[in-house]
Structure 1
Amino acid sequence: MQLGLDVDVQKLETDKWRKGKNKAEEDLDSLKMDYKKLRRSIRTVGLGKTSEQWRQEIQEEKIKADQWEKKFQDARAREVALEKSLLECQNKEMGLKA
């Protein structure tokens, strides 16, 4: 009788350990999936770049900004030249009328 009770207790403990093991494995699998999603997100938003990659990207953006600034300055210079030309034409026209 005592031996039968010991066997039942051992079975219950074994089941308890199995359930704990299964739960731990499920948690581990869940953590692995979360980790994969996190790594994918990091790559997607670019946070996984090295400092050299960031420097290169910043340098490229500075070059683009400088190019846009030069285009703006050129356009502004053309605008000033056109305004000056317009004023000269208006002055000539006023001179012809007089």
Structure 2
Amino acid sequence: MNQDLPHLENLKLLVVDDHEIILGGTIDVLRQHFPKAKIFVAKTAQTALEKVAHCQPDLVILDLSIPETEGEIARPDTGIQFLKTLMRKYPTLNLTV
């Protein structure tokens, strides 16, 4: 993982979770600690992969139990496969699960 994060005012974070309550709580905590950060949200693996490519976040905060696409059931194996894909395609991306 790349340990060199930009200055806090330029920080870009991507939160991946399909549960509204957890997602809202995570974003609230992040905003308290990093008020100037740009926070992006994805609820599926497909959307998250698109956001990583488009937004180039400094950190991805990932729930492993996510659906592949909208309308599918959240499954841990989907999140694990997504994590493997991220690590292969973006080897310097900072990740937390």
**What is the TM-score normalised by the length of structure 1?**
0.19
Higher RCO, Cα 8 Å, sep 6+:
2
Structure ranking higher in helix proportion: 1
Structure ranking higher in strand proportion: 2
